[in-house]
Amino acid sequence: MSVGIYSLKVLKTAIASDPARWRPLVVTNGCFDLLHLGHVRYLNSARQLGQSLVIGLNSDESIRLIKPDRSPPRPIVTELERAEVLAALKSVDGVVIFSEKTACELVEALRPEIYAKGGDYNLQTLPEASIVQSYGGQVRLIDIEVPSSTTAIVDRILRGVTRTP
């Protein structure tokens, strides 16, 4: 695997062996299919909340489970390509690919001091929130600076529409 892409077991060991480098740990998760400016600004904001930022990246299988009816089928970019692009970002300290529908197992294993999600989520519908709160961590919802989405980008491509500055 590329630098910055970890198995959960290896990442847990790295964090335990060098907590000063990793903690306070910020964890976020998502599909990050067709990385766009909204993603980059969100990740930069999340990184500022702690010492390091780890992304839980939905596997290809996981995306197919949570987004079964998308056209074209998702993901567009493979998990390994998405992981490598994310790991190359200055704001990202680590990427872990997970196959579950939620990041609950990842959050339970890493126990981040801060769990970050976009402002389009809320605590009541975020399954990871209760886990984070159970051990005294914080859930931070980050305002969306650039309203963009992979779906909107795909729709524009399919319609042959470009954005003008």
Containing H/E element for 25? strand 25-30
In SS3 terms, 85-123 reads as HHHCCCCCCEEEEECCCCCHHHHHHHCCCEEEEECCCCH
- Please say if the pLDDT value at position 1 is more than 60: no
pLDDT of residue 160: 84
Rounded CA separation 39/149 (Å): 9
pLDDT digits (tens, 9 = 90+) for 65-116: 999 998 889 999 999 999 999 999 999 999 999 999 999 999 999 999 999 9
Other CB atoms within 10 A of residue 119 CB? 12
Residues in Cβ contact with 94 at an 8 Å cutoff, skipping those fewer than 6 apart: 4, 5, 6, 11, 14, 52, 53, 54, 55, 87
Would you call 54 helix, strand, or coil by DSSP?
strand
pLDDT digits (tens, 9 = 90+) for 13-43: 999 999 999 999 999 999 999 999 999 999 9
Domain spans, the chain: 5-159
Residues in Cβ contact with 2 at an 8 Å cutoff, skipping those fewer than 6 apart: 83, 84, 87
Do the beta carbons of residue 68 and residue 103 sit within 8 Å? Answer: no
pLDDT of residue 150: 74
Query: CATH for 5-159?
Result: 3.40.50.620
Tell me: cis bond preceding 24? Omega within 30 of 0 counts: yes
In this prediction the pTM is 0.91
